[in-house]
Structure 1
Amino acid sequence: MIMQPRKILAKQIGRKFIRVLFSGFAVLFVSGWLNILGPSSALGAEGKPLPRSLIIATHAVGTGFHADGSVVAKMVSERSPMTMVVRPHPGPPAWLPGMNNGEIEFGVIVGSDGATAYRGVGAHRKAYPNMRLLMIGAPMHLSFWAPVASPIKTTADLKGKRVPSGWAGLPIIQYTGGAALANGGLTWDDVVKVPVAELAENLRAFMEGRTDVLWHSVGAPAVQEANVRISGGVRPVAIRTSPESLKRMADFNPGTYMMMLKKGAAVGIVEDVPLQSEDITVVAPAQLPEEVVAAILKVLWDSNDELRKVTPRMRAWTRERMVSTQAAVPYHPAAIKFFRDKGVWSPDMEPLQQKLLGR
């Protein structure tokens, strides 16, 4: 049977419509998968694609660690093709499992917390062996604080005194505070333990006269408040500086070391004083691709002058501090390559890196 011209035309149009429709579905399918996989159009090292977005985990909103992570995220998002999203948590135990599995790309953590989490000791019953150091930021100084008129001058003077303890909500402080006691040749059994759950309760106990000392970091608002409300102000309890004392402190809480603060460096620093210190660090999983690590470090290195102006806390986030022999977690291989290329990976770092990899 011979088809009419009108029917032939309709059949041809139908076939063309099906081809166009199929092509459209193919484009949508491929585009959808590209969006799911997430690489941006930008390329990293060796021409490998960079992800569209990244996560940086921090402590809760309102903490200094959240502020630090927010500054890092701002720089990365503004100066690279990647968007870095800040994801706050109650504390590192909430995000460390995700990082160890490679599900979270970056995190902000203090040195001793990272060191104990990496090894599965102290406050961390489980080890997170895939944690790697991206860079070191500013130092944080921790101390017991006493009224200026108090006879408690050094950590050894805390024997028999009423000291905040327990720290159910922040178990890492049981170790940082315990390290201060160890520095003075003491243990928690040598003091009168006054249970507190977290920092706010610790401040209340001190202000109400239930403890003889306050535990906090230099520059914390709580220290400023205590300095105003306590007659004569407050000052930090100095750590002892003998090699034996410093070793006891570091052995009790790996990642801590001594720094001398000059008079007037912050509220309550009424004279030059040696204090327990540790570093604020940015960590990443060992599984994180090298091109991503290199791209992030390039932003933070190249934009360092601007980074340090965003908040007062960021002033000490210098290029010179990014690599340190105080590191307590091994560096990511791509970070080592980056810092070698910049000429800041010193010969002393290689034996330290190998030692840390041995955990």
Structure 2
Amino acid sequence: MKRLMLAAVAVLTLAIPLHAQPARAQQPLGIGTMGQGTLGYAMGAAIATVLQEKAGLSARIQPSSGTSSYLPLINSGELDFGIANILEAREAMLTGDRKLQNLRFASVLFPFRVGLFVKKDSPAKTIADLKGLRVTYGYSSQATIETVIDGLLANGGLKRDDVRRVLVPNVVRGADDFASGKVDAAFFAIGGGKVSEVDASVGGIRFIPLSDQLEAIARMTKAVPGSYITMVQPRNGMAGVDQPIAAMAYDYMLLTGKHVPDATVHKALKALADNKEALVASLAAFNAFDKARMAKSVDLPVHPGAQAFFAEAGLKK
């Protein structure tokens, strides 16, 4: 009799509609970013805040040494979203023998403006002036940065062998080596918090402007496909930019995993599209965020939830 009663209870339990059963606690969405002090970290923090406060999606950021560390975690389902530039995304998703086949494009965020900086009193005024000087290179945790630096040098008519390469694992370490005097020029995103820190510690830094001549741009884009020249205006908190300069830009984007439900991706993108002011309140760089560019063609596999949002919002993809 006892066995029959237990069996009856089991059958009744299975018969209860799924929506009537107790819901499982929702796990926070994991967002992979670069380390603290980088613009990528600040971008992830701003996005997590908007997802929580505007969309009711619990989210946490997980900083690491570079995209080569956290993109595989999105691919395996251990993280849900990640910040990456177009070069990193293409390399991870489309090239090599170990393509991350479960990564999906979610949205373009905004142009990422980068450059090489020197001390404010450095005699190097142009990229060509870096010849023979010590420049950060290597970037074992950020494989695409070497290519980007090659493009910056190419803009000034230089090749990597024209400078003294000092190997570093990531941009934060490169900035620290610059601050300690181990290198003459370092790479970083313009507007990054770490740049302001270094600026204060060495008595001032200056980003080297690029050339906007057609030949110089052609050399740069050949080395870094998808890059372009943009003008950066000085403003409070923009360390290293005290006058308008031409800089390299390429798009940063939000990536997600194939495992993330369509409805979650749709809800996340709608929250970003509808809350630019909140994004800017967390990070001024989001002033460059443009809803119309979220669906910009980047020739990458697109998450179905993103496709649904783009169609609903009238954005082309």
Range of TM-score over shorter length: 0.7 to 0.9
Q: CA deviation at 1:110?
A: 2.4
Check whether the contact 1:57–1:89 (CA below 8 A) recurs between aligned residues.
no
TM-score (norm 1): 0.72
Structure 2's unaligned 5+ residue stretches are none
Structure 1's unaligned 5+ residue stretches are 1-14, 41-51, 350-359
Q: CA deviation at 1:107?
A: 1.8
Residue 29 of structure 2 is aligned to residue 55 of structure 1: yes
Using CA pairs under 8 Å that are at least 6 residues apart, name the structure with larger relative contact order, 1 or 2: 2
Compared CA separation, residues 299 and 155, structure 1 to 2 (3 A): same
**Aligned to 1:110, which of 85, 88, 104?**
85
CA-to-partner distance for each residue in 1:272-295, whole Å, 9 max, x for gaps? 101112233111245655444323
Check whether the contact 1:254–1:328 (CA below 8 A) recurs between aligned residues.
no
Q: Distance in 1 between matches of 2:20 and 2:208?
A: 55
**Aligned to 2:220, which of 242, 245, 249?**
249
Q: Distance in 2 between matches of 1:315 and 1:329?
A: 25
Q: Which residue of 2 aligns with 1:4?
A: none
Q: Which residue of 2 aligns with 1:213?
A: 185
Check whether the contact 2:136–2:165 (CA below 8 A) recurs between aligned residues.
yes
Residue 137 of structure 2 is aligned to residue 165 of structure 1: yes
**Aligned to 1:94, which of 66, 69, 72?**
69
% identity of equivalent residues: 25
CA-to-partner distance for each residue in 1:211-238, whole Å, 9 max, x for gaps? 221222212334223433445x321111
Compared CA separation, residues 154 and 130, structure 1 to 2 (3 A): farther
- In the TM superposition, what are the counterparts of 1:1-359 in structure 2 within 5 Å? 15=1, 21-26=6-11, 52-53=26-27, 55-59=29-33, 62=36, 63-80=38-55, 82-100=57-75, 104-120=79-95, 126-231=98-203, 233-264=204-235, 266-286=238-258, 288-324=260-296, 327=298, 329-345=300-316
Q: Output the amino acid matched with 1:223.
A: V
Compared CA separation, residues 241 and 91, structure 1 to 2 (3 A): same
Count residues with an aligned counterpart.
315
Q: Distance in 1 between matches of 2:20 and 2:116?
A: 51
TM-score (norm 2): 0.80
Q: CA deviation at 1:186?
A: 2.0
CA-to-partner distance for each residue in 1:192-211, whole Å, 9 max, x for gaps? 22233334543344344442
Q: Distance in 1 between matches of 2:151 and 2:124?
A: 17
Q: Distance in 2 between matches of 1:257 and 1:342?
A: 27
Check whether the contact 1:58–1:65 (CA below 8 A) recurs between aligned residues.
no
CA-to-partner distance for each residue in 1:161-191, whole Å, 9 max, x for gaps? 2212223344332222222112223221111
Q: Distance in 2 between matches of 1:120 and 1:35?
A: 46
Q: Which residue of 2 aligns with 1:45?
A: none
Check whether the contact 2:33–2:61 (CA below 8 A) recurs between aligned residues.
no
Compared CA separation, residues 224 and 307, structure 1 to 2 (3 A): closer
Give 3-state SS (helix, strand or coil) of 1:323's partner: coil
Check whether the contact 1:112–1:328 (CA below 8 A) recurs between aligned residues.
no
Q: Distance in 1 between matches of 2:299 and 2:130?
A: 28
Q: Distance in 1 between matches of 2:11 and 2:59?
A: 31
Compared CA separation, residues 204 and 94, structure 1 to 2 (3 A): closer
Q: Output the amino acid matched with 1:217.
A: A
More deviation, 249-258/268-277: 249-258
Give 3-state SS (helix, strand or coil) of 1:194's partner: strand
Q: CA RMSD in A?
A: 3.6
More deviation, 175-184/92-101: 92-101
Structure 1 or 2, whichever has the larger Rg, is 1
